[in-house]
Amino acid sequence: MDASIWGCAFIVIMAFVTDIRTMKIPNWLTLTAMLSGVLFHVITNGMHGLAFSAKGLAAGFALVLIMHMIGAVGAGDVKLFGGIGAWLGTLLTVQCLVYSVLCAGVIGILILLRRRETVQRLRKVVGSLAGVFILKSFQFLKTGKEQQLRFPFMVAVVPGYIFACISAFG
């Protein structure tokens, strides 16, 4: 495995611990992730490393920014995925994000089953989808914070990171 996987793993573990404790990922950690990822790749691969890291940083940041704009994740997650992208590059960052979102979906379903809110939430989802396809309404994206299911996204990012690394190098 590449050394960048281990450097990024250290950042992901630190973010996991802080997100579990405080439901926030501090700026010092996200900025360190971005700068250290870029620096690592510049030192190891020069200008090609800079381009690789910069593209990964931009991709991770931009994709998770879209998720933040619809209220799915916090701003710390956006910046953290910029840092993950700086370490892993575009392809592995996108894979990590996809696996993380899938894990978040499973975790959300498990939480809903535990709370016994599943049927009520499924009705809302079906109604929202019907609104999109029949009425061309995207009003469901503007749900209130009280209706959202919240948990630290890092709970899903850690297994997503592991799955992405296994799929890439396993």
What is residue 153's three-state secondary structure? coil
Whose CA is closest to 162, among 75, 77, 76, 102? 102
**155 contacts 107 by C-beta, under 8 angstroms:** yes
Res 108 pLDDT > 90: no
Q: What domain count does the chain have?
A: 1
Residue 72 is predicted with a pLDDT of 87
Res 31 pLDDT > 50: yes
Average pLDDT, the chain: 87
Mean pLDDT of the 117-135 span: 63
Token digits of residue 49: 């490393």
Mean pLDDT of the 134-149 span: 54
Confidence of residue 146 (pLDDT cuts 50, 70, 90): very low
Q: Please state the pTM of the whole predicted model.
A: 0.82
Measure the CA–CA gap between 4 and 22, rounded to whole angstroms: 27
Residues spanned by the domain of 133: 3-169
Mean pLDDT of the 98-104 span: 96
